[in-house]
Amino acid sequence: MLRIIDARTGEPADAAPAHRGLTLVQAHAAGSGPTDLRVLLVADLLVRALEIGGSVVSASLDAGQFQPELRAGAAALGMRPFEAGPAPGLDGSRVVHVAAEGGSAPDGPRIAVAPASGPGPADLPDPAALRLALLTRHHGTPVRLGPAALEEAADTLARWRDAVARWARSPSRPVPEDVRRRLREAWEHDLDLPAVLDVLRRVETGPEVPDGARFETYAHADRLLGLDLTAGLGSSS
Q: Domain extents for the chain? A: 3-113, 151-225
Residue 30 has pLDDT above 80, yes or no: yes
Do residues 138 and 192 touch, judged by C-beta distance below 8 A? yes
What DSSP designation does 88 have?
A: P
pTM of the predicted model over 0.85: yes
* Average pLDDT of the segment spanning 199-227: 96
- % of the chain beyond a pLDDT of 90: 76
* Average pLDDT of the segment spanning 104-108: 88
The fold of the 151-225 domain, in CATH, is Four Helix Bundle (Hemerythrin (Met), subunit A) (1.20.120)
Summarize pLDDT for 111-147 with one digit per residue, the tens: 999 999 999 898 888 999 999 999 999 999 999 999 9
Q: Give the model's confidence band at 234: pLDDT under 50 very low, under 70 low, under 90 confident, else very high.
A: confident
Residue 87 has pLDDT above 70, yes or no: no
DSSP code string of 196-220: HHHHHHHHHH-TTS-HHHHHHHHHH
Instruction: Compute the distance between CA of residue 159 and CA of residue 174 in angstroms, rounded to an integer.
Output: 22
Check residue 19 and give its pLDDT. Answer: 75
Q: Give the model's confidence band at 89: pLDDT under 50 very low, under 70 low, under 90 confident, else very high.
A: low
Instruction: Compute the distance between CA of residue 196 and CA of residue 140 in angstroms, rounded to an integer.
Output: 16
Q: Give the model's confidence band at 88: pLDDT under 50 very low, under 70 low, under 90 confident, else very high.
A: low
Indicate left, alpha or beta for 190 from its phi (over 0: left) and psi (-120 to 50: alpha): left
When comparing pLDDT for 20 and 216, which is higher?
Answer: 216
Check residue 29 and give its pLDDT. Answer: 93
Instruction: Compute the distance between CA of residue 124 and CA of residue 218 in angstroms, rounded to an integer.
Output: 24
Kindly report which listed range (62-71, 182-191, 200-209, 218-227) carries the lowest average pLDDT score.
Answer: 62-71
Please give the mean pLDDT across all residues of the chain: 92
How many Å is the Cα radius of gyration of the chain? Answer: 18
Kindly report which listed range (7-11, 83-87, 157-161, 199-203) carries the lowest average pLDDT score.
Answer: 83-87
